[in-house]
Amino acid sequence: MESKDNDKKVKFDIDNGQVFFADEVGIIHNPLKIMLDFRSVTPRIDVRNQDYQPLVLKHNVIMMDPYTAKTFLDIFRQNIANYEKQFGKITKPEALRRMEKKNKKDAKSSGKAGKQEKAPAYLG
């Protein structure tokens, strides 16, 4: 078969976006979409007003159809397994374990057992 010069060439640009560090992630869904809401919460210091601590909250939301989300989950699990194989098991940081232990002790002594914070969160 002969090749003709009718092949179209395509030029495209890639916009890689900005790097985003997420402190928290929320996941919600409806029948058609699964939404990952990545959040970055940064406390700010306002020397003019000491009555409150301002927080800056940034969101990056990723929406996927359920099939793509499930495929993502499979790929993510495999990548975590590869990471742990190469670098060792991922464990909860010692500072977080101490905070949870302290919260549990504080809740017990105040009679509010079961209501301690399990992980740091600024807005829930």
pTM above 0.75, yes or no: no
14 in any annotated domain: no
100 in any annotated domain: yes
Contacts for 118 with CB less than 8 Å, ≥ 6 apart: 100
85 in any annotated domain: yes
Sign of the dihedral through C-alpha 86, 16, 43, 35: negative
pLDDT tens by residue, 4-49: 666 888 888 888 888 889 989 999 999 999 999 999 988 888 778 7
Between CA 47 and CA 20 the distance in angstroms is 27
88 in any annotated domain: yes
Between CA 40 and CA 26 the distance in angstroms is 11
Within 13 Å, how many C-alpha atoms sit on residue 92's CB side? Answer: 10
H helices within the chain, ranges in order? 66-87, 94-110
pLDDT tens by residue, 39-83: 998 888 877 877 777 888 899 999 999 999 999 999 999 999 999
Residue 37 near residue 47 (C-beta atoms within 8 A): no
CA nearest 60: which of 41, 44, 80, 33?
41
Q: Tally the domains of the chain.
A: 1
72 in any annotated domain: yes
Does the pLDDT of residue 100 top 60, yes or no?
yes
- State the DSSP code for 38: E
Residue 124 pLDDT: 43
Range of the domain at 68: 24-110
